[in-house]
Structure 1
């Protein structure tokens, strides 16, 4: 195995020279967030002088096991460690060119699970086929990354509710300071992410500390509305204490509890919230704390306070179907769907007809999935696009509509199905258990090429008009991709006039459906 050594500002790192790319895995970008640094902003790691081997992925951030996804993809759970989780991975094409565009990926997982080491996120093909440098990042999750303790432990912990986002900023600073040594251009960084990763991208666009660290953004199936107020986040912190049977005056004991104990309490809170349909099952999410996140991201976009970088944002056609697959899937019939639409809409019959007009599956389960996708992803994305397009013309939107054949077609064009296509990793281990055996390579070519063109040139590269509220031009990605004007017109006009989905704030999903968001 050929070795490649690159000097960084912290010390030399020793990666591998693959067939198409140089690969550097598990590079530390922050000090171990343990001991006095638990719930604190990331600090620089100690420098080193000898070449540090970075040929194996670092462990993921501590997280509960996701048994549904393990079964779906056939993967063992990620190894985890609180001590050494803050690492990143770099794929860069063989030398011969410098100042390549940089694409920094933030994984999803409901701010609870996930890792930059997921096989679907291997950057080899994206880097080598499209001449970009790819970086994937680990950040703190769950209570370790998003438990707000400012009201319980004082100003020293005022930013504790956003240290997961601050980890991402620390990784972007590492990219700014070091990526040139790997052939990348620190002045041309595209930040992209999906689900909670997309929510992170949009939050970073609203954070002063992140300004100037990236120059374009892609938000896949995200929302600029999933944040908590300090009051709401403090209530979650009190729920964690209650799960641990700790009185408030002993909140300082959270600093020294074993990780397993903290994860147990965290999961207890998550399950209670999901059972009552509260806040999309996202008790741990970015907090509008003032110092780090001054205002909710959508408010920042609407007021012009968000970074005006070029943006691609979109969704899959059937986002909600992923959350209706598994042993706890609800039993839904026509009467239940009719009752739900009666509750949600002023004009339920018109609403049902509008949803039937845009969904390939109009069964009761298909309509329930469509309503979930509308509330959680499509409508928030539309509001984001409208707000950002009012400030810049460099905004594009898409709809991923190709339907998976896996699991007897139950998944459809569900949440996260676009990921192996974006990274052009249809043959990654387990991917076909999600996409089915017939996933079209031409779709992976189209999607990865559009994202890479955006990174290179600041636009998607194909005949794809920018978004505006008059035409709502939308690229529909399918076996044969095509441009469509306002594909959600019927649903959009109906929901704009008779129903406005709540945000992820305290009443996010209450009374709607017990669900989770990835």
Structure 2
């Protein structure tokens, strides 16, 4: 039950206790709402548990701490930063934007932030749900969850010193991050009606690592009936995900960097020490020509039983409505401004291509990428290769697999390049985010938006933002401001191209699809292992 004792705040009575939110520009907002017990002390690396509740009225008008993560005060040259203090392990909270805390049963959009499994926050200004609540009459929920070492270390090898706390008993499990998100979804199911939302009409959306999370959630046995639709923005489905045994080498390297031998000793460290050791793991796991991922989801057969890319083509999750897309030059985000990669040679890039296609095909594949981008430097070929391997081709495979089984999927490619950094970023990873949220004022700190023409920028944002709203509300992204957007099928392969002019094209990424074919390994190829292409 909601009460409105004042014009600037709203009180909601939850099973866990009374909560007081605020009213911001006509939208009712509740911030730092706890959805799970603080994962501190003995609960570090344990599965998320229900929050015990509180007495009195909890004030929910200020953001809570973000999950601990690396931080540079000077920011970065692309996003300008992806998480800012305060940080704290007691971070399992969510934020809610709603037109009103009433009984209107509006569609719900749950946002899972990305960040390479090491950064980000649901409380970032750019992830404000105000525009979705105002423009779409939706209830928007953003989630904080454990990331980096605190979310992605896995201690599954019982009997191994890595997995013991000194008493011979396994100390933790894989994928604490996923248990957080599962708990958040159950919280939404149990409570969102009190905030004007419909628990039977929930869309989960995520970008990058958050899109991997979204797919994992959609196919999880604990979420059956909880998720109606998913939006997958730039999922790096080309990542190979390890089993616990394979991941053990990475965990052992991390423990060495942290200067400890057991999980009990690791649990005694303060979280800043854990972040420092994680920075060391970046260097230990980096490979030339590959996106750095020191921490990864683990396919443990318990919390996660298959690659997330496979969940939406199997079982109950096959019936979930899906929209999936990528940016034209995803990899430019991580590589285009790196002078070391800018100086890459043809020989280096050909050797990298051989990792995927074999030495015999590598020269031919290099030539294909050159033809697709006249005047391409070796660095450009490398970035297009990484974009295809990690993002575009695995997304196409999912779209193809869905289409073959008769389950609809809408596909898009974001093509608008940014003029920032002399145009070197192109249509890079993350660039679609401010367009989807249509809140450029909240992204003023982000260098990658510099130089965009306001009229083009705002027109494209309106088209994308309204498409996301339509999909959340109906399962179909079409609206009056778009050309007809048909589901992806294996005949027309319709893909919406979001650029200064929005166009629905047949087989937009056909060159990449044909180049990679069906015979190479990949998470959504029938009968293959869980590894990357």
TM-score by length of structure 1 reads: 0.90
Corresponding residue of 2:498: 477
1:231: Cα distance to partner?
1.1
1:52 to 58, 62, 85: 58
Helix, strand or coil for the counterpart of 2:231? strand
User: Would the aligned equivalents of 1:321 and 1:415 in 2 still touch at CA under 8 Å?
Assistant: yes
User: Would the aligned equivalents of 1:150 and 1:156 in 2 still touch at CA under 8 Å?
Assistant: no
| In structure 1, C-alpha distance between the alignment counterparts of 2:492 and 2:371, rounded to whole Å | 19
Work out whether 1:316 is the aligned partner of 2:337.
no
Using a 3 Å threshold, how does the CA distance of structure 1 residues 67 and 325 change in structure 2: closer, same or farther? Answer: farther
Work out whether 1:153 is the aligned partner of 2:163.
yes
Name the Cα RMSD after superposition: 2.8
User: Would the aligned equivalents of 1:422 and 1:448 in 2 still touch at CA under 8 Å?
Assistant: yes
Corresponding residue of 1:285: 296
| In structure 2, C-alpha distance between the alignment counterparts of 1:261 and 1:18, rounded to whole Å | 38
Corresponding residue of 2:307: 296
Following superposition, which runs of at least 4 residues in structure 1 exceed 6 angstroms of deviation?
A: none
1:174: Cα distance to partner?
1.1
Corresponding residue of 1:110: 116
1:338: Cα distance to partner?
5.2
Using a 3 Å threshold, how does the CA distance of structure 1 residues 455 and 87 change in structure 2: closer, same or farther? Answer: same
**1:99-498 equivalence runs, <5 A:** 99-151=105-157, 152-153=162-163, 160-224=173-237, 226=239, 227-247=241-261, 250-275=262-287, 280-304=291-315, 306-326=317-337, 329-330=340-341, 331-333=343-345, 336-337=348-349, 340-341=352-353, 344-345=356-357, 346-348=360-362, 350-356=364-370, 358-359=372-373, 362-430=376-444, 433-437=447-451, 438-439=453-454, 440-462=457-479, 463-496=484-517
1:301: Cα distance to partner?
4.3
User: Would the aligned equivalents of 1:347 and 1:498 in 2 still touch at CA under 8 Å?
Assistant: no
| In structure 1, C-alpha distance between the alignment counterparts of 2:126 and 2:441, rounded to whole Å | 9
User: Would the aligned equivalents of 1:66 and 1:113 in 2 still touch at CA under 8 Å?
Assistant: no
| In structure 2, C-alpha distance between the alignment counterparts of 1:206 and 1:245, rounded to whole Å | 37
Using a 3 Å threshold, how does the CA distance of structure 1 residues 95 and 332 change in structure 2: closer, same or farther? Answer: same
| In structure 2, C-alpha distance between the alignment counterparts of 1:403 and 1:390, rounded to whole Å | 32
1:109: Cα distance to partner?
0.5
1:334: Cα distance to partner?
5.0
64-73 vs 414-423, which moves further: 64-73
User: Would the aligned equivalents of 1:102 and 1:188 in 2 still touch at CA under 8 Å?
Assistant: yes
| In structure 1, C-alpha distance between the alignment counterparts of 2:371 and 2:392, rounded to whole Å | 15
1:332: Cα distance to partner?
2.6
| In structure 1, C-alpha distance between the alignment counterparts of 2:214 and 2:314, rounded to whole Å | 18
1:348: Cα distance to partner?
4.5
1:87 to 85, 93, 100: 93
313-322 vs 95-104, which moves further: 95-104
User: Would the aligned equivalents of 1:188 and 1:214 in 2 still touch at CA under 8 Å?
Assistant: yes
1:335: Cα distance to partner?
5.5
User: Would the aligned equivalents of 1:73 and 1:430 in 2 still touch at CA under 8 Å?
Assistant: no
Using a 3 Å threshold, how does the CA distance of structure 1 residues 215 and 256 change in structure 2: closer, same or farther? Answer: same
* Cα deviation code 1:407-444 (max 9, x no counterpart): 22111100000000111112224356222232511111
| In structure 1, C-alpha distance between the alignment counterparts of 2:467 and 2:172, rounded to whole Å | 36
* Cα deviation code 1:306-330 (max 9, x no counterpart): 4530111110000011111445542
Corresponding residue of 1:514: none
| In structure 1, C-alpha distance between the alignment counterparts of 2:427 and 2:470, rounded to whole Å | 24
User: Would the aligned equivalents of 1:39 and 1:157 in 2 still touch at CA under 8 Å?
Assistant: no
| In structure 1, C-alpha distance between the alignment counterparts of 2:361 and 2:288, rounded to whole Å | 26
Work out which structure has the larger RCO, using CA pairs closer than 8 Å and 6 or more positions apart in sequence: 1
117-126 vs 412-421, which moves further: 117-126
Using a 3 Å threshold, how does the CA distance of structure 1 residues 383 and 68 change in structure 2: closer, same or farther? Answer: farther
1:389: Cα distance to partner?
2.9
Using a 3 Å threshold, how does the CA distance of structure 1 residues 333 and 225 change in structure 2: closer, same or farther? Answer: closer
1:205: Cα distance to partner?
2.1
| In structure 2, C-alpha distance between the alignment counterparts of 1:7 and 1:329, rounded to whole Å | 56
| In structure 2, C-alpha distance between the alignment counterparts of 1:125 and 1:313, rounded to whole Å | 21
| In structure 2, C-alpha distance between the alignment counterparts of 1:384 and 1:271, rounded to whole Å | 32
User: Would the aligned equivalents of 1:24 and 1:89 in 2 still touch at CA under 8 Å?
Assistant: yes
